């Protein structure tokens, strides 16, 4: 699995949002300027994050975004899945995928890699990244 700019920019934006918790809701324009990320791109990313219930929005003059959960409850895995979709390193590592070969010894490698990656990403919380 190769992570795209969605993951990098989404993580950076959420770290920025988390650092400004006292100023929430916080505008995407401020995050875009602070992180040097296109506002239009951030809007698309935050639509995905909102759909995944990681952020919530407020409209109006003092509108913007805030975290939907405490920073200690948001894992990097949740964020990456919201932005990228499945995190399988290889298509056949997905346990629900029906492999064309009845037994493939290589599949074990991909499944172990996926399990290890998922455990690591689940263990890293947004709160760990704002220290």
One digit per residue, pLDDT tens: the chain, 131 residues?
A: 678 899 999 999 999 999 998 887 999 999 999 999 999 999 999 999 999 999 999 988 888 999 999 999 999 999 999 999 887 766 665 555 556 665 677 777 878 888 899 999 999 999 999 97
Confidence at residue 93, expressed as pLDDT on a 0 to 100 scale? 54
Structural domains present in the chain: 5-86+125-129 (1.10.10.10)
Structure tokens at 14: 């959420």
Q: 55, 17 in Cβ contact below 8 A?
A: yes
Listing DSSP states for 23-73 in one string gives G-SB-HHHHHHHHT--HHHHHHHHHHHHHTTSEEEE-STT-EEEESS-GGG
CA 6 to chain centre: 8
95 phi and psi angles, rounded to 5 deg? -60, -25
Count of beta carbons in the 10 Å neighbourhood of residue 84: 16
**At what angle are helices 39-51 and 28-35 packed, to 10 degrees?**
120
Confidence at residue 89, expressed as pLDDT on a 0 to 100 scale? 67
Confidence at residue 98, expressed as pLDDT on a 0 to 100 scale? 58
């Amino acid at each position: 699995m190769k992570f795209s700019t969605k993951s990098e920019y989404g993580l950076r934006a959420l770290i920025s949002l988390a650092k400004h918790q006292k100023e929430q809701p916080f505008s995407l324009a401020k995050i875009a300027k602070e992180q040097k990320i296109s506002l239009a791109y951030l809007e698309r990313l935050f639509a995905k994050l909102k759909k995944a219930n990681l952020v919530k929005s407020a409209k109006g003059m003092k509108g913007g975004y805030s975290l939907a959960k405490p920073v200690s409850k948001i894992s990097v895995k949740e964020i990456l899945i919201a932005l990228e979709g499945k995190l399988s390193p290889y298509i056949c590592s997905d346990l629900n995928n029906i492999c064309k070969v009845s037994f493939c010894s290589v599949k074990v490698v991909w499944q172990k890699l996926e399990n290890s990656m998922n455990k690591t990403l689940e263990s890293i919380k947004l709160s760990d990244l704002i220290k």
